[in-house]
Amino acid sequence: MGTKHSSMGFKTQSPLSIFIVICLCCLFYILGAWQKSGFGKGDGLAVQMTKKTDCNIFTELNFETHHNYVEIIEPSQPEAKIFKPCHVKYTDYTPCQEQDRAMKFPRENMIYRERHCPPEEEKLHCLIPAPKGYKTPFPWPKGRDYVHYANVPHKSLTVEKAVQNWVQFQGDVFKFPGGGTMFPQGADAYIDELASVIPIADGSVRTALDTGCGVASWGAYLMKRNVLAMSFAPRDNHEAQVQFALERGVPAVIGVLGSIRLPFPSRAFDMAQCSRCLIPWTANDGMFLMEVDRVLRPGGYWILSGPPINWKTYYQTWKRSKADLQAEQRRIEELAESLCWEKKYEKGDIAIFRKKVNDKNCHRKSASVCESKDADDVWYKEMETCKTPLPKVTSANEVAGGVLKKFPERLHAVPPQIAKGLVEGVTAESFEEDNRLLRKHLHAYKRINKLIGTTRYRNIMDMNARLGGFAAALESPKSWVMNVVPTIAKNTLGVIYERGLVGIYHDWLCDVP
């Protein structure tokens, strides 16, 4: 007996209904996935950000870390090293120029006035105190003419040099009238006479050396003519003279022409002078004059004012015979000629010589030529009785070592030593980059300390000057920089002088006892 589905059983679903259900499921699945992806209308922010994103904007991403790795150390309480003040008797202490130590060395060639540093066991490990009542120096240019007595409490020069108008004591300050032993009418009048022969005004002369400078009035008054003078004098019974110079805001160092070479590179200075500096130029076969020749630039000028110049007038005052003084001047002129210098001027108390621009222009057999291969290797090196050779030239008109632009163009021009490839690892491009970097650094320093570049900081030291970029960036009549090139660093001091800046070699790590 056949059976039939009852009305209470399940009806068979049509294929069309099943198809519709499957389509709806798929539609809702796709719609949900679309919205989840961030492209749906429900995520308008995602849509806008995606449309505006340009993946090519950051083309020079630097994935290096921008912080220094510092090892995490467990908290501890390290003992801080504290340096106590030295006794007040060390107020004028200069480590390698102490009088008691100096007197133990020979007097010959002023050896006892040179640097003699204490051994390790005698070095001080305390802070040198300022003089009692020390005051902030007067701003430049007033500081050129006035110094607080409390800052340099030494009056001996005001007595011994009273008639020569070096320095006067007035109330609680020293006044510097700008006088000197050989320029009683003042430094300005003296420089005017020099400028009648030497092209000081047009920027041809920028760096100068003053041997036996006294209180450095010559250098002080040259500054307003855009000439930067490095002055030096020994620490003798007038121990305050170089300190006076520094307090006045003038470049100066303790030094002497003795047995050791000057701490400057060859061909550094455009002009040098001896104004009654009492250096025996004819002694040791002219060794001291040969050292001046080493640091004098080709085409540079040497000024001698004082004995034996104008001996006919002063021979009785100097308590010397006419014959003796005449012979001394003749010998100086013979030495100058052997060094390829030409006398350009003599009047009154002043004689001016000019160094030839190269060795091809010498009309007389030169002094014996030094054999040393590095004329700038001078730190604690003994002087020699020989002429430092100049760089080779191909014609009689070529300037040995290269032509320098006039200042201030000279400050930023590529120095000849770099242009000729004589400084290892330094090119014209890296020179320009160094200048750019130091300008950036100086800008950052000024944001932190707004007094930089003002007369508040007159004397500034760059302890590792490299190419002189910091001093060049700071260059202004308000401040000057002592560019120090450590003896263990690459020797770039010649480049610094070619830029019209001044500096010195030094060894920060240790001094030779």
Structure confidence by residue, pLDDT tens digits, 110-157 = 999 999 999 989 889 999 999 999 999 999 999 999 999 999 998 888
Pairing of strands 296-305, 252-254: unpaired
Given a cut of 80, is residue 482 above it in pLDDT? yes
Give me 72's structure tokens.
């995490």
Cα–Cα distance for residue pair 91/132, rounded to 1 Å:
9
Distance of CA 484 to the CA centre of its chain: 5
Q: Which residues contact 170 (CB under 8 A, 6 or more apart)?
A: none
Q: What are phi and psi of 341, to 5 degrees?
A: -105, 150
Sign for the CA dihedral angle at 47, 51, 52, 55 comes to positive
Distance CA 451, CA 467 (A): 24
Residue 470: closest CA among 435, 430, 423: 435
For 13, 23, 25, 29, 190, the CA distances from 19, given in Å and listed in that order, are 11, 6, 10, 16, 115
CB of 432 closer than 8 Å to CB of 467:
no
Among candidates 316, 385, 407, 399, which has minimal Cα distance to 356?
399
Q: How many residues does the chain have?
A: 513
DSSP three-state, residue 283: helix
Task: Tell me the pTM.
Answer: 0.83
Q: How is residue 288 annotated by DSSP?
A: H
pLDDT per position as a tens digit, 300-346: 999 999 999 999 999 999 999 999 999 999 999 999 999 999 999 99
pLDDT for the residue numbered 272: 98
Terminal CA-to-CA distance of the chain, rounded, Å?
A: 134
Q: How confident is the model at residue 19 (pLDDT cuts 50, 70, 90)?
A: low
Interval 405-427 mean pLDDT: 97
Rounded mean pLDDT of the chain?
A: 87
Structure tokens at 174: 């020293």
The DSSP symbol for 479 reads B
| 236-274 pLDDT per residue, tens | 776 789 999 999 999 999 999 999 999 999 999 999 999
Q: How many CB atoms lie within 10 A of CB 15?
A: 7
Check: CB of residue 268 under 8 Å from CB of residue 246: no
Segment 165-187, tens digit of pLDDT: 889 999 999 999 998 888 988 99
Kindly tell me if the per-residue pLDDT of 57 is higher than 70.
no
Is the per-residue pLDDT at 65 higher than 70?
Answer: no
pLDDT at 8: 42
Distance, CA of 286 to CA of 284 (rounded, Å): 5
284: left (phi over 0), alpha (psi -120 to 50) or beta: left
Of 221, 233, 124, nearest to 178 by C-alpha is 221
Q: pLDDT confidence of 73, banded at 50, 70, 90?
A: low
Pairing of strands 146-148, 173-175: antiparallel
Structure tokens at 426: 């330094």
